[in-house]
Structure 1
Amino acid sequence: MASGFNQKNKQCSLQELAALVPDGSSIALGGSFLHRGPFAFVRELIRQEKRGLELIKQSPGYDVDILCRAGVLRRVRAGIVAMEGNFGLAPWYRRAVERREIELEEHACASLTAGLRAAAFGVPFQPCGGLHGSSLPELNGWKCLDDPYGSGQKTWVVPAIRPDFAVIQASEVDAQGNVRVHGTAHWDRIMSRAAGSVLVVAEKVVDSAVFEAQPESTLVPYFMVQNYAVVAGGAWPGSSWPAYAIDYPAVEAYMDKNSDLRAHMAAAPEAQEGNHG
């Protein structure tokens, strides 16, 4: 994080950030369920009428559901999918799968992580434990290898998963593009290392001295970040600890099968005047 490093300005608007994602791209989305997901970015993909995207995430919920609801996705690679215990399953996602409107490559969280790790480490596959007795290897055509060191054990291996973009919801970013999150990072770190490019939506910009004082807290260094936008409340209706908690009434209203998607989108923080990053 060289102080005063001369480089292009990476900050852009949320609209410009989403416009970097072409139709047909694969995107890995950070966060988990309703916690610190890049939901303002997801809604901007809908506003820009993106089509044919692939979503990659270990534990999606609101993000995959609203993208299915809007017809943005062609394919999903995911582990557990739910709106969390308060709200149950993701209804529009389930409908899209049942109607074969999207292609699903079903994973365990561990197997998806193994595929991302393979891409991050630059190898064609990664071993994954815990799959013996599961139907996932058969469904996905995964291979089982003998231990080359002679233990007699067999290990399932998952092929590399390399998203075109990893999109991270950050607590803080500095002008150079260094990224920090408060609380658990979920799977954001491995996503950022596996993807071809990293896009960031941050709650706020802080001085680089904050990062220099605690360099070990940097989740994604500036040289891995293509561009970032600043959108306060960008994880709404989810949480971004410690700035704000889940907006449970907003999630409940979204889940109403008779709810109006346009009204939900219009109520989002990024849709309010003066908050366009």
Structure 2
Amino acid sequence: MTRSEKLTTLEEMVATIPDGASIGLGGSFLHRGPFAFVRELIRQGKRDLEIIKASPGYDIDILCRAGCVSRVRAGIVAMEGNFGLAGGYRKAIESGTVKLEEHACMTLTAGLRAAGAGVPFMPVGGVHGSQIAEVSGWEKMTDPYGGEEEVWLIPAICPDFAVIHAHAVDRDGNARVEGSPHWDRALTRAARKVLVTAETLAPSESFLERPELTLVPGFMTAAAVHAPQGAWPGSLAPIYDVNYDAVARYVEESAGGSIAGHMAAAPEARQEEPA
């Protein structure tokens, strides 16, 4: 594979996602999510998707409102404190349109880590007293080394695709993330294919200067897209903050039954407009 084969367009990247695929989305709530990618899923009319994310919000909400999703594996879901619950997602779950396997953030991450390690399950503590384990059908076992403690066993979670938004990517597909990786390290190690959108396209030499910031090495990346403002209306610290006005407009508009105005206002949509 030559270096140029890693770089593609957002449209071409999303075109590789078949209906019915399972997709793990990076970031957390309104922070560093691959939101331009999510909106392109809607534009291309993808259907019957399974979405996997420990702490989604805007992304799962807009996908549910657009009818793209049939299954979800997620921990906490919310639009963050400013906007409360994700109304479109909640309606989809309550109506039965979308099926949910509910997790705590740490149990979903445990399932991803199991897949990344190539083992069928990962033991966790901290679920005792919750009905999540029983509702989800997880098994438990007693410490096989002589202790009396019981642990829950979370089945491996292996998405078909992991999609993250990074601060920078090079032509080899090396992806650099500044600050918190959120759940992206476990997610990218668990998935069958890793797709990267990135704020900037950086020279490969710059990755040698701070190799510890390379969250995803190029050999793991199937395809990469240069997508400025790709986390809008969320944040990409320290480059830009959450656009709370845009989120507020989305919440109000979508509650009225439409997302067309929000989709048209997205940066990638405006970039497509003729001069």
Amino acid corresponding to residue 13 of structure 1 in structure 2:
T
Cα deviation 1:87-118 (Å, max 9, x = unaligned): 00000000001110000000000100110010
- Which residue pairs with 1:229 in the alignment? 225
- Which residue pairs with 1:124 in the alignment? 120
1:68 counterpart (64, 69, 82): 64
CA distance in 2, matches of 1:30, 1:6: 26
- Which residue pairs with 1:15 in the alignment? 11
SS of 1:127 mapped into structure 2: strand
- Between stretches 7-16 and 103-112, larger displacement belongs to 7-16
2:81 counterpart (85, 91, 108): 85
- Change in Cα spacing, 1:18 to 1:6, as seen in structure 2 (3 Å) is closer
CA distance in 1, matches of 2:111, 2:264: 36
Amino acid corresponding to residue 119 of structure 1 in structure 2:
A
The yes-or-no answer on 1:135 pairing with 2:136 is no
- Which residue pairs with 1:175 in the alignment? 171
Give 1:168 shift.
Answer: 0.5
Give 1:258 shift.
Answer: 2.1
Give 1:8 shift.
Answer: 5.0
The yes-or-no answer on 1:33 pairing with 2:46 is no
Conserved? CA contact 2:4–2:171, under 8 Å: no
SS of 2:199 mapped into structure 1: strand
1:115 counterpart (100, 103, 111): 111
Conserved? CA contact 1:253–1:259, under 8 Å: no
Give 1:259 shift.
Answer: 6.3
CA distance in 1, matches of 2:149, 2:248: 48
- Change in Cα spacing, 1:147 to 1:74, as seen in structure 2 (3 Å) is same
Amino acid corresponding to residue 207 of structure 2 in structure 1:
F
SS of 1:167 mapped into structure 2: strand
Amino acid corresponding to residue 65 of structure 1 in structure 2:
D
Give 1:44 shift.
Answer: 0.1
- Change in Cα spacing, 1:68 to 1:6, as seen in structure 2 (3 Å) is closer
Give 1:260 shift.
Answer: 3.3
Conserved? CA contact 1:119–1:160, under 8 Å: yes
Give 1:16 shift.
Answer: 0.5
Conserved? CA contact 2:3–2:171, under 8 Å: no
- Which residue pairs with 2:40 in the alignment? 44
Give 1:51 shift.
Answer: 0.1
Give 1:50 shift.
Answer: 0.2
CA distance in 1, matches of 2:34, 2:4: 24
Cα deviation 1:231-272 (Å, max 9, x = unaligned): 110100000111111110110011012263111101000001
CA distance in 2, matches of 1:110, 1:246: 25
- Which residue pairs with 2:158 in the alignment? 162
- Which residue pairs with 1:260 in the alignment? 258
SS of 1:155 mapped into structure 2: strand
CA distance in 2, matches of 1:269, 1:183: 23
Give 1:20 shift.
Answer: 1.1
Q: Give the alignment's TM-score, normalised by structure 2.
A: 0.96
CA distance in 2, matches of 1:87, 1:274: 30
* Residues matched between the structures, number: 271
Please provide the CA RMSD for this pair: 1.2
CA distance in 2, matches of 1:21, 1:190: 21
CA distance in 2, matches of 1:143, 1:273: 49
Tell me the percent identity.
58
Runs of 5+ unmatched residues, structure 2:
none
CA distance in 2, matches of 1:31, 1:119: 19
